[in-house]
C-alpha cells in the first residue's frame, strides 16, 4: 500500500515541478506512475483475494487514485493550452485533487491498520503452528538420526570389502596407465632411434654409391669427350655424345645432392631467438605465400625462446618444411600455423598446415632420399631438413592424416651444449 501511495505522491511531485519549471522532464515520474499504479493494484488484489473487507477498501482507494490521476491529466492539458500558465480553473482542480489525495491517505491508513491487525492474528496462528511443527520436526530428526546411524553402521560394515576392492582397482588402473605411458615413451624413443639408424645407413650407402658410381662415370665422360673430338664431322655422333655428356653431368649432380643431404654438416653455433629465425624464414617464402594466398598465423611464446643453432642452416630446414606445406594446400584456402613454446630447457617449434595430408605409411617415408608425393622435386628437401635437425642434436616428428593436414614438431635445445 505504501508503494501505491508513494507512486501518487511521486506523480504529484513531478507535475508540480513541471508547473514551476515548465520542464517536461519532470513529467517522467507522472508517466511512470500511470504505468505502475495498475501493476501495484493488481498485486495487492492478488494478496488480499481471500479478504473481502480489504478488497473493498482497496477498490475505494483505487477509484480515488484514478480520479486524482484524471484531474492531474486534465490540469496538464489545461496548463499546456494556457501557454504553460496557471489559471483559476487549474488552481481549483488542483485543490480538489489535493482533497482527494488526503482522502487516499486516510483510506490507506485504515487499510494499513487493518492489514497490521490481520498480520498480528496470522502471526499468532503461525507461532502455534510453528511450535507444533517444531515438535514434529524434532521427533522426526531424532528418528532420522537413529535411522541414519543404523544405516551408516550397516553400510560401513558391508562396504569395507568394496572399498578395499575399489582401492585395488584404482591402484591397478594407475599402474596400467603408467605402463602405457612408459610404453609410449619407449615406442617414441625406438622410432627416433630407428630414424637415426636409417639416416646413418642412408648416408653410408650414399657415400658407397657415390664412390662406386663416380669412378666409371668419370671414365664415361672422358671417353665421350674423346669420341666427340674424333667425330667432329659426324652430326649424328655429336648429338649422341652430347646426350651422354648431359646425362653424366645429371647423374653426377644427383650424387652430389644425395651426399649433401646425408653428410655431416659443419655448424656455426650461435645463440639466437627461434621466433626471429621463423620470421626471417617466412620472409624467404613470402612470394610463395602471397602467390598461393595463404593465411599465416604466428603463435609465438612471449618468453625468451633462444636456441643454440647455426642460424642459416636451421632456416633452410624450416624453409623446406614451409615450402612443403605451401605446396600441399589448396590455393586461396591455405592456413599455415607457426607455434613456439618452451618445455624446460627445450624449445618446441610446431608447423601446421590444412593441406591434403597423407597416410601413416607415406608420412614415415617423407624423410627418405628421393621419396616424393609431388610431381616435381627431387625428394631430398626433407632429407636435408632431417640431416640439419639431427646434426643440431634435435628431433623432428611428423604426424598427418588424409584430408586433415600435416603437423611437424621440431625440438631444439635452448642451452649451448652442441660441440
Query: Any residues with CB less than 8 A from the CB of 308 and at least 6 apart, and which?
Result: 269, 270, 271, 413, 414, 415, 416, 417, 418
Residues 274 and 402 in one domain: yes
Q: What is the pLDDT of residue 152?
A: 82
Q: What is the pLDDT of residue 91?
A: 80
Q: What is the pLDDT of residue 205?
A: 64
Q: In what order do the strands lie in the sheet with 346-353?
A: 295-299, 335-343, 346-353, 406-413, 395-400
Q: Which of 216, 232, 262 is the last residue of a domain?
A: 262
CATH number of the domain where residue 221 is located = 1.10.287
Residues 275 and 405 in one domain: yes
**Per-residue exposure over 95-106, b if at least 16 CB sit within 10 Å of its own CB, e if not:** eebeebbeebee
Does residue 13 carry a pLDDT above 90? Answer: no
Higher pLDDT, 165 or 136: 136
Question: Which residue pairs, CB below 8 angstroms and at least 24 apart, start in 328-332?
Answer: 328/353, 328/355, 328/356, 328/357, 328/405, 328/406, 329/292, 329/294, 329/353, 329/354, 329/355, 329/356, 330/355, 331/292, 331/293, 332/292, 332/293
Higher pLDDT, 65 or 390: 390
Does residue 336 carry a pLDDT above 90? Answer: yes
Residues 249 and 285 in one domain: no
Q: Are strands 295-299 and 335-343 parallel, antiparallel or unpaired?
A: parallel
Q: What is the pLDDT of residue 345?
A: 81
Q: What is the pLDDT of residue 264?
A: 65
Residues 70 and 189 in one domain: no
Residues 211 and 122 in one domain: no
Residues 277 and 394 in one domain: yes
Q: Is residue 310 part of a domain?
A: yes
Q: Which of 224, 246, 262 is the last residue of a domain?
A: 262
C-alpha cell at 264: 655431416
Higher pLDDT, 349 or 90: 349
* Bridge partners of residue 273, in order along the sequence: 306
Number of folded domains that form the chain: 3
Q: Could you tell me if 378 and 254 are in contact, meaning their C-beta atoms sit under 8 angstroms apart?
A: yes
* pLDDT tens figures, 235-278: 777 777 778 877 877 777 677 666 666 666 678 888 999 999 99
CATH number of the domain where residue 277 is located = 3.30.565.10
Lowest pLDDT segment from 83-92, 165-174, 218-227: 218-227
Residues 278 and 228 in one domain: no
| Owner of C-alpha cell 643431404 | 261
* pLDDT tens figures, 289-314: 999 999 999 999 887 788 889 999 99
* pLDDT tens figures, 170-181: 887 887 888 787
**Residue 418: which pLDDT band, with cuts at 50, 70 and 90?**
very low
Residues 258 and 375 in one domain: no
- Nearest-angstrom CA–CA distance, 335 and 351: 11
Find the mean pLDDT for residues 409-418. 74
Higher pLDDT, 405 or 200: 405
Q: What burial class does residue 281 get, using C-beta atoms within 10 Å of its C-beta: 0-12 exposed, 13-18 middle, 19+ buried?
A: buried
Q: Is residue 157 part of a domain?
A: no
Q: What is the pLDDT of residue 188?
A: 57
Q: Which of 262, 295, 310 is the last residue of a domain?
A: 262
Q: What is the pLDDT of residue 265?
A: 67
Residues 30 and 114 in one domain: yes
- Nearest-angstrom CA–CA distance, 284 and 281: 5
Torsion of the alpha carbons at 235, 239, 241 and 247, rounded to the nearest 10 = 170
Q: Is residue 151 part of a domain?
A: no
Q: For the chain, report the end-to-end CA distance as a whole number of angstroms.
A: 90
* pLDDT tens figures, 350-376: 999 999 999 888 888 888 877 777 666
Q: What is the pLDDT of residue 369?
A: 78
Q: What is the pLDDT of residue 282?
A: 94
Q: What is the pLDDT of residue 341?
A: 92
Range of the domain at 38: 2-135
Residues 274 and 408 in one domain: yes
**Residue 338: which pLDDT band, with cuts at 50, 70 and 90?**
very high
Find the mean pLDDT for residues 70-83. 80
- Nearest-angstrom CA–CA distance, 378 and 40: 86
Q: Is residue 209 part of a domain?
A: yes
Mean pLDDT (the chain) is: 79
Regarding pTM above 0.75, the answer is no
- Nearest-angstrom CA–CA distance, 330 and 295: 11
Amino acid at each position: 500500500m505504501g508503494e501505491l501511495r508513494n507512486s501518487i505522491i511521486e506523480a504529484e511531485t513531478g507535475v508540480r515541478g513541471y508547473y514551476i519549471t515548465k520542464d517536461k522532464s519532470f513529467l517522467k515520474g507522472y508517466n511512470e506512475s500511470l504505468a505502475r499504479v495498475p501493476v501495484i493494484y493488481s498485486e495487492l488484489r492478488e494478496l488480499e483475494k481471500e479478504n473481502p473487507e480489504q478488497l473493498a477498501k482497496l477498490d475505494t482507494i483505487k477509484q480515488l487514485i484514478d480520479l486524482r490521476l484524471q484531474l492531474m491529466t486534465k490540469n496538464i492539458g489545461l496548463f499546456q493550452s494556457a501557454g504553460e500558465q496557471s489559471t483559476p480553473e487549474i488552481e481549483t482542480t488542483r485543490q480538489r485533487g489535493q482533497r482527494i489525495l488526503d482522502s487516499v491517505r486516510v483510506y490507506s491508513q485504515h487499510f494499513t491498520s487493518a492489514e497490521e491487525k490481520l498480520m498480528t492474528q496470522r502471526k499468532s496462528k503461525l507461532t502455534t503452528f510453528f511450535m507444533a511443527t517444531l515438535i514434529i520436526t524434532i521427533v522426526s530428526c531424532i528418528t532420522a538420526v537413529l535411522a541414519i546411524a543404523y544405516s551408516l553402521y550397516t553400510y560401513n560394515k558391508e562396504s569395507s570389502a568394496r572399498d578395499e576392492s575399489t582401492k585395488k582397482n584404482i591402484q591397478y588402473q594407475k599402474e596400467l596407465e603408467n605402463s602405457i605411458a612408459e610404453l609410449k615413451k619407449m615406442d617414441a624413443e625406438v622410432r627416433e632411434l630407428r630414424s637415426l639408424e636409417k639416416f646413418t645407413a642412408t648416408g653410408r650407402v650414399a657415400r658407397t654409391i657415390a664412390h662406386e658410381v663416380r669412378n666409371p662415370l668419370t671414365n664415361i665422360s672422358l671417353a665421350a669427350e674423346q669420341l666427340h673430338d674424333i667425330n667432329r664431322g659426324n652430326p649424328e655422333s655429336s648429338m649422341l655424345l652430347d646426350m651422354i655428356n648431359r646425362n653424366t653431368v645429371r647423374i653426377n649432380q644427383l650424387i652430389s645432392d644425395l651426399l649433401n643431404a646425408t653428410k655431416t654438416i659443419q655448424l656455426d653455433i650461435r645463440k639466437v631467438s627461434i621466433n626471429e629465425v621463423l620470421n626471417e624464414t617466412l620472409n624467404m617464402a613470402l612470394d610463395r605465400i602471397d602467390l598461393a594466398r595463404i593465411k599465416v598465423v604466428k603463435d609465438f611464446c612471449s618468453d625468451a625462446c633462444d636456441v643454440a643453432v647455426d642460424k642459416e642452416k636451421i632456416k633452410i630446414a624450416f624453409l623446406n618444411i614451409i615450402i612443403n606445406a605451401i605446396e600441399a594446400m589448396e590455393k586461396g584456402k591455405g592456413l599455415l600455423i607457426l607455434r613456439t613454446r618452451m618445455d624446460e630447457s627445450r624449445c618446441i617449434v610446431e608447423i601446421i598446415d590444412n593441406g591434403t595430408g597423407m597416410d601413416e605409411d607415406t608420412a614415415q617415408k617423407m624423410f627418405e632420399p628421393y621419396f616424393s608425393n609431388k610431381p616435381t622435386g627431387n625428394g631430398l628437401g626433407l632429407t636435408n631438413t632431417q640431416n640439419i635437425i639431427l646434426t643440431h642434436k634435435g628431433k623432428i616428428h611428423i604426424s598427418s592424416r588424409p584430408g586433415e593436414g600435416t603437423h611437424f614438431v621440431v625440438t631444439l635445445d635452448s642451452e649451448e651444449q652442441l660441440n
